[in-house]
Every structure is written in C-alpha cells, then in structure tokens.
Amino acid sequence: MSLREKMPLLARHEGVWDGYYRYFDDSGNKVDEHKSRILCRMIGIDDYHQTNYYFWADGKKDTRDFPAIVKEDRLVFYTEITGWAAAVPLDENNRTIMLHWTRNNEPDLYLYEMIQISDCGQYRARVWQWFRQGRLFMRTLVDEQRVSMDWQAYDNKETDYADVAVF
C-alpha cells in the first residue's frame, strides 16, 4: 500500500504552498513575520519529503528539509527535529493533521502544530504552539495557498523573495 493510500489526508497536501508566517510571544505581541514556500512531496511508495523556504523582508533567507518515513499510521520525522504527523480521526470532515516535534539540539523545547486544509484543497491554515520546559512561550500562525500541484517544477530551484506569492 502506498503512502497516498495509507495517508489520504496527507496526500491532499502534496504540492507547492506559498504562505505567510506570523510569530507571537505569550502576551500576544508579534515578534516576527516572513513569507514561505513549502514543497510537500510524496516520492515513491513510502517516502515523504518537505522543504521549507523562508523569506524575510530584510533579505534574510532560510531553507529547512524534513524527510520522513511512515510508521503505522504516522509520518515520522528524523532530522534536526524528531516527531510525528498524523490525521486527527475525530475530525469527521477529514481536514485536520496534528504534528508534534522537538528540536534535537533543544530537548526542553517542544511544539504542537495543527493544520487544516480547505475542502477545495487550495488553502490551509496552521497554528503552532511552542513550549519550553512545559510552558507556552510562543505561537505561530501560518496562512497558505497552493500555487502548484507540480512540486517537481519547483524542486531544487532557487527562489527569491519576490517570486513568493502573497494572497
């Protein structure tokens, strides 16, 4: 059984997403914001690979790669982060994925992320809740729009800040 068959909700996320990240401290003050381009790939039968490109208004850029494998009903990450992603079975609308991860170099930090995809599959919203030593210290809100189903056209392509769509 392929990854698409094992995790059909995750398969709906495959493609290229442009987005806008906003970070807030525990008092609700915005502490950062930037654009993003996210490539969600299902490769072969069981491989998932996500690449996140981040772009700040001052010209700063960052790229993060998140390959993952399937174990039972979860996607398991094993790089700079350790964690999992899975569909929420209680969501009768089949729109919600939950993630949990820790950064390997910061064991006292963990994060929960909730992702909702629209019924049309062209929009998604994400909420991250960051905890350090068991205490909430930051939240991240992400709004995204799919710009292409064809991640291969964007794979390994240099992207500049101006190319990332804002919706």
pTM for this prediction:
0.92
What is the structure's pLDDT at 162?
57
What is the structure's pLDDT at 160?
59
CATH 2.40.50.100 correct for 3-163: no
What is the structure's pLDDT at 78?
86
Show the CA angle centred on residue 41, arms to residues 143 and 144, nearest 5°. 10
Residues ≥6 apart with Cβ < 8 Å to 145: 17, 18, 19, 122, 123, 165, 167
Tokens of 15: 């493609």
Secondary structure E strands in 44-105: 47-55, 61-71, 74-78, 81-87, 96-103
For each of the chain's 167 residues, which pLDDT tens digit applies?
788 888 999 999 999 999 999 999 999 999 999 999 999 999 877 789 999 999 999 999 999 999 998 888 899 998 888 999 999 999 999 999 999 999 999 989 999 999 999 999 999 999 999 999 999 999 999 999 999 999 988 887 666 555 676 55
What is the structure's pLDDT at 163?
67
What is the structure's pLDDT at 159?
63
CA–CA separation, 40 and 14 (whole Å): 5
What is the structure's pLDDT at 165?
62
